[in-house]
Structures are given as structure tokens and as C-alpha cells.
Structure 1
Amino acid sequence: MNIIEAIDDPNLFAPWFKDRKTWSAWRVFLSALYGLPLNDHELTVFQECTGRSETPQGAAREAWLICGRRAGKSFNLALLAAYTALFRDWRPYLQPGERGTVMVIATDRRQARTIFRYIVALVRGVPMLAKKIERETADTIEFAGQVSIEVHTASFRTARGYTIIAALCDELAFWRSDESANPDVEIINALRPGMATVPGSILLCASSPYARKGALWSAHQRHFGKDGDPVLVWKAPTWTMNPTVPEDVLAAARDADPAHAAAEYGAQFRTDVESFISLESVMDCVETDLRETPPSDAVDFYVAFVDPSGGSHDSMTLAVAHREGDKVVLDAIRERRSPFNPTDVVEEFAATLKDYRISQVHGDRYAGEWPRDRFRSSGIAYETASLAKSGLYREMLPMINARSVRLLNNETLIRQLVDLERRTGRGGRDTIDHPPSGRDDVANAVAGVLVLSTESQRGPRIW
């Protein structure tokens, strides 16, 4: 039974597709995914959404869905998870005791739970499928036939050790990780070996687009519009995939922020958001084996920059540096992640500053008076930075590109620097900041101390 027959069967998935007209574009996608025949109207939709002229000659090995928000991506990932797990016998490709896994990877736990609830509803809503459940947990369903469906949050460690019959990746353009500067690329690369020994396994990645970078953008550039390519790229706006979204919602989004709406609903990659620093440029400045340099009497003076935080959400960070000739050398990084007591962290940072003979620290100009008061009570003067965060990043960029800085081998720093984005506002003004759901607390402190080091002619007072 093919997937179109399954969603048309009243004893299977038809109850979830009450108004077939509103699902017409999804039916074309599912048909194309499995190489099923298309009629003339469906072929037109296929050509519009893939940039191809010829009908697919067989099932896709990979599929990349670039669709706007509320298009129905998560539900269709759940549908494909259930169909893949239960409508084919995978046992010929599995060893005794081995389980084939349909792995669903989501941005965070909330989204993973959403997809898992869809999967549970689809399976338990069909008595003949529900009978195949052997065990169910909060994130796993094990079925008869040596097959499981599991949902995970985005981590390159997720895929290791599994035999994967399908990998379904949700909103990968927005994956962020404390483990990697490029989590989408690394996770996809980790998934593919787990699928190599299973004929007919499939990788399906679905996401709203964001900046012109990462795995989603790369797939679009390499495979969109390529007839005969076993990698199918499908790109469609929200209103094509889900015509039930009210037009006034779309119009309001366009009026509020055209560039944002074009990406969120129009499935267009953003041209107003670009990467700020390349990984190669950052790594050229990193001392591979150096994680911290202790205080040295040979250094005349050190400077320091702090990015304060109230302790409930952001990290509070500190960076220490000094000059060596024409180079700025990053000596130390401190990060305290929330939650924490700000007074305790100020005392901890003050002790580090005194170790480096520093009695004055510079910090964020928008932090208010509390950092000044807290550091003063710990014997450290606090001066506000002359530049805002975007200005610090702009000043830091040529230093990194010219390799006039020596950075520590700190994974968080490297990741946050590479994640920085330059955004062009509606008035043409550029801002530099972390991506959505990202962080830049360590990068901000380091940018501040690097720029401060170049500005300091005599340095701060020393002990």
C-alpha cells in the first residue's frame, strides 16, 4: 500500500484529512517523494515547488522541505514516521535483536513532544496499527517487526549507534547547540552512516528557511531544480501548502516586517541576514592547545571586560587580555550560566581580576547601575564601554581577519563567534547579534576585551 492509498483509506489515515482540497499540495509532495504517478494538475504543482520539468522516476533518497510556518511540516513528519515504520517489513535488513529506528529530530523538547503526540495519535487512532505497539515511553514507540520510532532534540551524538531506516529532521535551520558551531551539518553527517546499510532508508529535512547558510541552504543550492536528482528539494510558501491560513494573518506579517514574513511564510531565504565571521578566520587565530594563560609578571598590564547578567536567563561572562607587540592575546574566559546569584559571581570575577592585577573592568553600557555598585563593593571599578555590542563586533572583525589576535581554544567562544549574524534593518542600518535562540555572552565579553586592548594606551590601574 502506497502512502496516498494509506491517507485515503478510511480505516487508516483518512480521518485526519477531512478536507482533501486543503491537502492537495501535500499529496503532490508525498507522491513525488515516493515516485508515484502525477496527473497534469499535480505535475504543475510539482514543477512550481521543485523547479524541475520532469516527473520523478523513482523514490527520493533524500528530501528537503523548505516551507513557511504553519504549512503542516510537523504533522507530515509524524505521518511519514508512522508510515515508514509500519508499512514495510524492515527485518530482512536487520540482525537478530537489532531494531530499525525512525528517528525524528526536533529543535527542542517542546517541539519534539508536539511531533511525538502527532505520531501517537496517528498510530493509536488506527486499531490495526495500535496492535503493533509493544512498548511506549515518553519519547519512543517500539513496534513488532523490530522497528521503533524515537524523537530526539538536536545533537550530533543522537545518531550514533543506531540503525536508521528514516531520519526526519524538523526546523533544522534553527538548530542551536552548545556542542557545535554547525549542529545541522554535523547531525546530518552523523545520520548518514546509520542509514548506509538499509536499502530504501530516507533522510527527510523540513524547515522554514532562515539565512543563506547551513545544511538547508546548501541542499537548496546543490539540488533544487535538478531533474533526475535522487535528492528532492521542495520549496513552497505557507499559502501553497496550507491554504487555510487566513490572508489577513499573512498581510499583517508582511506589513510588520516584510523580510521576516518573506522567510517565515514565503519560504524565502533571508537576504538581510548574513554570517559575520567565518569558522576558518576564527580558527586561524586559535591557539590549539591553549585554554587559559595564567597571570605573568612579564606582562605590564592586563585589561578586562565583563558582560553582566541578572542571573535568571543569560550567562555572566568575563574576559581578560593583554598586548604583545602588535597582537592582542586573550588570556582567560569566565562564564557562569544561569541561574546564579549575581553577587556571588561578581565576587568570583573580582577575585580573578585581582589575580591578574586588574582594579578596573569595562562592561556593557546597558547593564544599569547594579554592576558598578557590586564591583565597587568588591574593590573593582566598573566603567561602561564606549561602544554598544554591534560596535564592538564591528571593531573586532578586522582584528580577526588580520590575525592580530590570539584566541583561546574555547568551544563556546568559537561557536558563538561563528554564529554571529549581520542583519540589515528596514532603515538600512546593520546590527550584529546572535541568531534566534542563540547566545553570545562569551563572544561579547571577548569582543569587548579585544577592542579595549587596542584602545588602551596605558592600560587600567594595576595592583
Structure 2
Amino acid sequence: MSGGVQDFSILDATEDPVLFTRWFKDRATWQAWFAFMSALFALPMTPEQLAIYEKCTGRTAPPATTAKEAWLVCGRRAGKSFVLAFIAVFLACFKDWQQFLAPGERGTVVVIATDRRQARTIIRYIRALLLQVPLLAQLVERERDEGFDLSCGITIEVGTASFRAVRGYSIVAALLDEIAFLPTDEFAAEPDFEILAALRPGMATLRGSMLLCASSPYARRGALWDAHCRHFSKDGDPVLVWQADTRTMNPTVPQQVIDEAYERDPASANAEYGAEFRVDIEAFISREVVEGCVTDGLLERPPRSGLHYHAFTDPSGGSKDSFTLAIAHREREHAVLDAIREVRPPFSPESVITDFAELCQTYGITRVTGDHYAGEFPREQFRKHGIRYELSAKPKSDLYRDLVPVLNSRRVELLDHPRLVAQLVSLERRTARSGRDSIDHGRGGHDDVANAVAGALLGSTVPQQRIRMGTLQGPYAGGPRGVELDPRTGRPLVTERPRPPRWVIVRESELGAVKGP
């Protein structure tokens, strides 16, 4: 089968009753996808398919050669995942790859998504396409939970969304589903670019191999947006970018479902179903700005006497998010980051608080600031170790907003912590329908380290409250100016019951109203 079938196209496979006809019974609803497959493999098109091609690619001339890459920017429920699976099975079973592989070498169809669970959606489609077609079922040598070994020398398997894990393969097809939402990992703030850079060398020597990326669009950044900017609406480009709303690709989706989504949230629905990149979301801060504040090679600063340290914590229950703590201090006009602690789940929150409290004590810290998470629990646990837990006066979105000018002016000295850099760079600024901006991590991302660091740095830049000792006069002294003294004892004569002293905290900005030495 994989010895290569001359003049047998992917469209022929959709019409063959021995193969895949059952998946394409209502062919009228598949016309847009047939147009895409024709464009992908440079097949002749009908006038109707050519019109769809021009609408979805912005091109005027049909392709003359098979595309080496295809980027599907399509709305939800358009059928992207199934089509990726179908193309992968066609490439694996109907093309001869042995001429490009050394003896003992296997070609790989790798499926990558935001997580392995989502990737298994494509694997389930592939399983059905292989096992429910008797002719193809004969090719399956071994079935695994996350893949298949075929007798034609091809392995189909789920890959990890990591630029390290995809290296070293001979790749006949790489399928990246929902590439706009790949999670940020510890060392890559832009994991989509890193993964693509690791995949492409594995495809370089296999003529006819394909990179197939699909996603509903998101923000105007990342590999999907970059591919759209570089290759959309360009005749003759071997990289095919196909942009289409949900109902163009799948007219069986009820219009009412889409209308209701637009009514709830027009900006989100325009991306989810309209396949338009969002204009209400933008990057929070550039990687260059953040890295410009990093002290290379410095992982932690030891405590020093004479400094006032500030700690900020982002608590977690121990099952999903990390529990983080950051410590910082102020040196003249700079906020200096001293220490970062992150404990990833699973963990015991009580045990983590004990460790964090010990770290705070080494820096002479007797109070930490944190958010409102978990109510009284973190306050009670820190209190057991003699540390007061104070609630942050600002939500994290405001902390991030206030951190921007400090980072831009380089009045911050960060530690060399890749996860911190990745989380800061992946933060997003969103504009709500009310016009109010909010800053948070992207979909599938994390900001636990960034939140703690932002709180610690900004807390360290707030001038400390001080009390200047001296003689208070006026109403706060408990009596009028010039109190008469007893000549025998030198003590003030009390002519009325004195009022108790009223203690007040005086800020530096208010010291002009207080007289003292």
C-alpha cells in the first residue's frame, strides 16, 4: 500500500467505498475541505472549489506544486482535527517513504497539541481511519495507547509539546493542533517557535513530508500570526495559509449557536467562530525589556544586615497551581530581587508555608503580603511561625501594570530565573468591552512566579513608614501648650483628668507637621 499508488489522490480516497467514503457521505458539506485538500496537494479544482480557495487564501492563482507547510486558521467545530488525522493517514499509508529512510529507520507521524489529552483526539480519529478500513487494518503491526506501528515502516504517535522531546525523529508529517494555545514551558516563552525549529530539521531529507498546523486564532503574536503575516495572500508561496470561519468549513454547525456566542462576547466569538485574530489582546512586555533587567548567572542574593526586605507570596492549595514566594529589597531607586521559591503540585500547603517561613526569618522578615486565596488558612499557618500575613491592597493585574514602568526604566534587578522570564513575557493585556484593561497569563499559561515577584518588587519600592521621636504638642499631647509644672516635683500640674495619648503612624511625607529633634 505504502509502496506508492500512482495517480491516486487524496480526493480519490474520499470517494473510494473500500476506503473512506463512509466519513464523507454528505459531500456537499465537505466542499470547502475538498478545496483545501486540492490546494494542499496541487490538484485540479472545480470552479466552486477555486472560488473557495481564493476566498480562504487571498490568492488569485491556484497552486502549481504540493505545499510543504499548511496553516489552518479556522473557527471552532470546523473539522480541523479530523482533517489533520485524515491527511496524516493518507501520507502514512499511500506514499512510499522507504526510499528516504535508511535500513532500520522508521518514519514518524507526530501529533502535538496543547496537552497529550487533546492530542489523543486526533489519535482516536486515526485509530478509526486505520482499524475500520480492513485494507489499512492489515498494516497495523502494533497498537499502543498513544500511537501505532505500521508494517510500511511508519510510526504514528503523540509527541510532547516540548522542543526537546521532538528532536531526533525522521518526520513524514507533523500535526500541531491548536498551535495558538501551546503552553509556555520553563525555558521557552514562545514554545510554538521553539517546537517548529526542532521539528523542521527532522523533515529536511524526506521529500514530500508535511508540516500541518491548525488552530482557532488568538492574539496577534506567535507562530500562527507570524505565518499568517508572512504567507497569507501570496501566490506561488509553498507555505499555504488557509483562513476560514466555522460555517464556511462546516455548514452543519447551527447559526444560532454562533449568534448566541457573538451576543455573549463579540470579541471572543469573532476569534472562536469568525477565525479572526483578536485585537483586544496584546503582549504585556517584550522579552528584551525583561532580559535587560536580569543579572546573568545570579540565582539568589544572600541576606545582608541593614536592609529591609519585603516578601510576597502567591498561595496554592497544592493540586493545580504552584505555591510561590519572592523576596526583594530597595537600594536607592532600584528594586532588587533577592530570592524566589516555587513549589509545584502536588504538595502539602502547610509544609510549604513552614519552609517559606524559615526562609523569611533568615532575611529578618516578620510579615509577608499575599492575595486573598484560601481565606484564613495561609494567615493562620504563617502566624504559627511568628509571621504576619497581610492581604495585598492591589490585585495582580494592577501589580503587573505598575511593574511596567519600573521594568522599562531598568530600575529593577532580577535574578537569572528562566521560568520568571517566560512567565513575564507570556503575560497578556486584555481590553474588556467596558474599556478597562486587565493583565493576566494567557490560556493554558501560568503566572505564579511572576505574581510573587511583582508583589515583592513593588512592595520593596514603597517608602517604609517611620515614626520620628520627639515632643508632641497640640491635641495629640493630651493638653494645651505650656503646661504648668509643680515647683516641688517638677511634674506637670494636673487640673483635669488627662486624656490618654493617641498613637498615630506618621508617614515621611507628613513629618513636616511634627516637630522634633
Normalising by structure 1, we get a TM-score of 0.97
1:250 aligns with 2:234: no
5 Å-filtered alignment, 1:162-181, equals 162-179=169-186, 180-181=188-189
Equivalent position of 1:27 in the other structure: 34
Equivalent position of 2:478 in the other structure: none
Equivalent position of 2:4 in the other structure: none
Q: For residues 411-462 of structure 1, what are the alpha-carbon distances to aligned partners after superposition, in whole Å with 9 as ceiling and x for unaligned? A: 2111110110000001011000011111111100000011111113359xxx
Equivalent position of 2:97 in the other structure: 90
How far is 1:365 from its partner? Answer: 4.2
Equivalent position of 2:495 in the other structure: none
1:369 aligns with 2:380: no
Give, as a single letter, the amino acid of the residue that structure 2 aligns with 1:285. Answer: C
Structure 2: distance between partners of 1:130 and 1:238: 32
Q: For residues 297-325 of structure 1, what are the alpha-carbon distances to aligned partners after superposition, in whole Å with 9 as ceiling and x for unaligned? A: 2x522111111222232211100011222
**For 1:229, which of 220, 227, 237 is the aligned residue?**
237
Equivalent position of 1:329 in the other structure: 336
Equivalent position of 1:356 in the other structure: 363
How far is 1:102 from its partner? Answer: 1.2
**For 2:298, which of 290, 299, 303 is the aligned residue?**
290
1:407 aligns with 2:407: no
Structure 1: distance between partners of 2:317 and 2:99: 57
Structure 1: distance between partners of 2:178 and 2:160: 11
**For 2:56, which of 33, 49, 53 is the aligned residue?**
49
**For 1:182, which of 154, 168, 190 is the aligned residue?**
190
Equivalent position of 1:140 in the other structure: 147
1:200 aligns with 2:208: yes
User: Which sections of structure 2, spanning at least 5 residues, go unmatched?
Assistant: 1-7, 467-517
Structure 1: distance between partners of 2:373 and 2:21: 56
Aligned with 2:112: secondary structure?
strand
Moved more, 14-23 or 449-458: 449-458
Structure 1: distance between partners of 2:384 and 2:463: 25
Structure 2: distance between partners of 1:384 and 1:174: 32
Structure 2: distance between partners of 1:211 and 1:88: 37
Equivalent position of 1:300 in the other structure: 307
How far is 1:158 from its partner? Answer: 2.6
Structure 1: distance between partners of 2:354 and 2:319: 18
5 Å-filtered alignment, 1:35-114, equals 35-114=42-121
Residues 241/48 of structure 1: CA separation in 2 closer, same or farther (3 Å cut):
same
Native 8 Å contact 1:155 1:177 kept in 2? no
Structure 2: distance between partners of 1:15 and 1:365: 55
Equivalent position of 2:281 in the other structure: 273
Q: For residues 223-252 of structure 1, what are the alpha-carbon distances to aligned partners after superposition, in whole Å with 9 as ceiling and x for unaligned? A: 000001000000000111111111111111
Residues 331/458 of structure 1: CA separation in 2 closer, same or farther (3 Å cut):
farther
Equivalent position of 1:386 in the other structure: 393
Structure 2: distance between partners of 1:121 and 1:300: 65
Moved more, 301-310 or 186-195: 301-310
Equivalent position of 1:317 in the other structure: 324
1:158 aligns with 2:165: yes
Normalising by structure 2, we get a TM-score of 0.87
Native 8 Å contact 1:154 1:177 kept in 2? no
Native 8 Å contact 2:106 2:155 kept in 1? yes
Native 8 Å contact 2:315 2:373 kept in 1? no
Structure 1: distance between partners of 2:160 and 2:257: 30
When Rg is computed on C-alpha atoms for both structures, the one with the higher figure is 2
Structure 2: distance between partners of 1:103 and 1:215: 18
Structure 1: distance between partners of 2:327 and 2:433: 36
Equivalent position of 2:15 in the other structure: 8
Equivalent position of 1:18 in the other structure: 25
Native 8 Å contact 1:112 1:153 kept in 2? no
Q: For residues 264-289 of structure 1, what are the alpha-carbon distances to aligned partners after superposition, in whole Å with 9 as ceiling and x for unaligned? A: 11101010111101111111111120
Structure 1: distance between partners of 2:147 and 2:463: 57
Q: For residues 26-55 of structure 1, what are the alpha-carbon distances to aligned partners after superposition, in whole Å with 9 as ceiling and x for unaligned? A: 000001000001111111100000000111
Q: For residues 346-366 of structure 1, what are the alpha-carbon distances to aligned partners after superposition, in whole Å with 9 as ceiling and x for unaligned? A: 111110000111101111145
Native 8 Å contact 1:315 1:337 kept in 2? yes
Give, as a single letter, the amino acid of the residue that structure 1 aligns with 2:349. Answer: P
How far is 1:293 from its partner? Answer: 1.2
Give, as a single letter, the amino acid of the residue that structure 2 aligns with 1:382. Answer: Y
Native 8 Å contact 2:69 2:210 kept in 1? yes
Aligned-residue CA RMSD in angstroms?
1.4
Aligned with 1:161: secondary structure?
coil
Structure 1: distance between partners of 2:146 and 2:451: 37
Native 8 Å contact 2:38 2:44 kept in 1? yes
Aligned with 1:379: secondary structure?
coil
Structure 2: distance between partners of 1:163 and 1:110: 24
Native 8 Å contact 2:298 2:415 kept in 1? yes
